[in-house]
């Protein structure tokens, strides 16, 4: 058996290639849209990719099933409850897929979504115990998939939670301890709240350490898995729908188009949003007015999908030689409307002086002085609820970044605003978003809540 895990850090997303090294027959599970790595590995091992299986309709990224099928002729498989605009194979509970001696077996594990499946992997067809199980978003390392994402799709969180209870407590925990667990996501994903940095585990280890896998009543399970979930990024509904549709294929050979200062300004004037992917401090030093700062060195795609509408045209200002990377990362969440990128930004900025501005950033000491002044600013905390429970700036307004675009009216417009997150990444994004919608008197806190705590309690730092 050949078994390969591919892990995408910026989306905390795992995909898998499973093959029989004798027959050279292979299946891909939960692939992303840019499929060159999978195809290269298959070619290197002489494999034929016969099928591509999605464990469910993903919400956090646009899966690459259509790209794989177009490139290889592979069939596309889902759990039997899935309906798609494109031809797909309905896979049923207990169904076996033979690759030779290596075999896959479908296990229905609804709860995160109604159509969710897990896939048992047998290294040998006659083995009584599976080598492992690819659990999709049903079971993570240290957590389980959240059941609330599809509440607006006609299935309630309560209904999904009860399905998930059966899938986790009975089906997955019914497997032998030695079965390896290979999830679809890891730490940082908004598909759960307590995901581990580990990329594989065992059923036995999860039985011992995962809060949702210990024996409990259905009601206890529901209370645990629905409480304290992070705000879902705005693009999740868009991707969950798009993964069902026959859409345009991603073409890796189509390089982003370089734009000079004049053409860049023309497209911007026509309504395109400028995504500036440089470091927050570099952005603060000088940027195009109205640009939204989404630094490349972080959870770029997820953050972009939280603050930008998928139907907006996008102009990119990227760190040196990272323009194509930025475009690919946007494409991974289905944001394909990138018009182009600013060629040689430093030189172009000199021609765009009238359109340039700076961003205010405060230290923790600056913020404390401002709060003690006669006209204190509004402090906006854009961390997730679980982070805020660990401590907060007294009197601060709390709106998680993923909710900010739809809750902008809650931010007072008659006072200065200082935005903070945990360390400074999300606050620069949020502050630039507020400026983009016409709120010029906005700063963000250098070092985030960590810097604020260190100032208040220097001996503990």
CATH code of the domain in which 368 resides: 3.40.250.10
Q: How confident is the model at residue 461 (pLDDT cuts 50, 70, 90)?
A: low
| Res 181 pLDDT > 70 | yes
Same domain for 160 and 48? yes
| Res 230 pLDDT > 80 | no
Same domain for 391 and 424? yes
Same domain for 36 and 163? yes
| Res 123 pLDDT > 90 | yes
| Res 233 pLDDT > 90 | no
| Res 227 pLDDT > 80 | no
Same domain for 283 and 410? no
The two tokens of residue 329 are: 């990362």
Average pLDDT over residues 175-197: 79
- How many domains would you assign to the chain? 3
DSSP code at position 460: G
- 144 within domain boundaries: yes
d(CA 242, CA 236): 10
Same domain for 151 and 224? yes
Q: Are 405 and 430 in contact (CB under 8 A)?
A: no
- 253 within domain boundaries: no
pTM, entire model: 0.92
Same domain for 163 and 181? yes
Same domain for 122 and 22? yes
Q: How confident is the model at residue 149 (pLDDT cuts 50, 70, 90)?
A: confident
Same domain for 384 and 344? no
User: What is the structure's pLDDT at 188?
Assistant: 60
- 246 within domain boundaries: no
Range of the domain at 76: 2-236
Average pLDDT over residues 331-353: 92
- 252 within domain boundaries: no
Whole-number average pLDDT of the chain? 93
Cα 239 versus chain centre, distance: 11
Same domain for 316 and 182? no
Q: What is the CA radius of gyration of the chain?
A: 24
Q: What confidence tens digit (pLDDT) does each residue in 98-111 have? A: 999 999 999 999 99
Length of the chain: 461
User: What is the structure's pLDDT at 255?
Assistant: 73
- 380 within domain boundaries: yes
| Res 21 pLDDT > 60 | yes
Same domain for 313 and 364? no
């Amino acid at each position: 058996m050949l078994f390969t895990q591919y892990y995408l850090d910026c989306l905390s997303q795992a995909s898998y290639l499973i093959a029989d090294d004798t027959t050279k027959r292979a299946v891909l599970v939960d692939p992303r849209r840019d499929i060159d790595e999978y195809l290269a590995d298959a070619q290197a091992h002489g494999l034929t990719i016969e099928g591509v299986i999605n464990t469910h309709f993903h919400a956090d990224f646009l899966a690459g099933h259509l790209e794989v099928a177009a490139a290889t002729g592979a069939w596309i498989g889902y759990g039997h409850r899935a309906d798609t605009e494109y031809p797909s194979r309905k896979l049923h509970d207990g169904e076996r897929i033979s690759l030779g001696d290596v075999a896959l077996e479908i296990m229905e594990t609804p709860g995160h979504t109604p159509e969710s499946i897990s896939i048992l992997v047998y290294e040998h067809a006659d083995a009584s115990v599976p080598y492992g199980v690819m659990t999709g978003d049903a079971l993570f390392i240290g957590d389980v998939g959240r059941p609330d994402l599809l509440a607006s799709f006609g299935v309630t969180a309560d209904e999904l939670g009860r399905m998930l209870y059966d899938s986790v407590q009975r089906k997955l925990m019914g497997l032998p301890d030695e079965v390896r667990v290979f999830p679809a996501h890891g730490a940082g994903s908004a598909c759960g709240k307590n995901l581990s940095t580990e990329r594989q585990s065992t059923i036995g280890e999860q039985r011992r350490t995962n809060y949702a896998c210990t024996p409990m009543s259905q009601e206890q399970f529901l209370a645990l898995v629905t409480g304290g979930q992070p705000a879902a990024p705005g693009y999740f509904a868009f991707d969950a729908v798009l993964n069902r549709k026959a859409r345009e294929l991603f073409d890796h050979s189509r390089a982003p188009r370089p734009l000079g200062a004049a053409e860049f300004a023309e497209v911007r004037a026509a309504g395109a949003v400028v995504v500036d992917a440089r470091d927050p401090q570099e952005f603060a030093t000088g940027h195009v007015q109205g640009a939204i700062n989404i630094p490349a060195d972080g959870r770029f795609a997820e953050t972009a999908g939280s603050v930008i509408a998928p139907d907006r045209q996008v102009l990119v200002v990227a760190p040196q030689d990272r323009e194509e990377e930025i475009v690919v990362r946007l494409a991974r969440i289905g944001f394909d409307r990138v018009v182009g990128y600013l060629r040689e930004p430093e030189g172009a900025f000199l021609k765009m002086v009238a359109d340039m501005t700076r961003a205010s950033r405060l230290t923790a000491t600056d913020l404390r002085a401002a709060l003690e002044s006669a006209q204190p600013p509004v402090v906006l905390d854009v961390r997730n609820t679980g982070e805020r429970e660990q401590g907060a700036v007294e009197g601060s307004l709390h709106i998680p970044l993923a909710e900010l675009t739809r809750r902008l009216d809650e931010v007072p417009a008659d006072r200065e605003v200082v935005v903070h997150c945990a360390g400074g990444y999300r606050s620069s994004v949020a502050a630039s978003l507020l400026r983009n919608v016409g709120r010029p008197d906005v700063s963000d806190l250098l070092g985030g809540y960590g810097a604020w705590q260190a100032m208040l309690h220097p001996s503990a730092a």
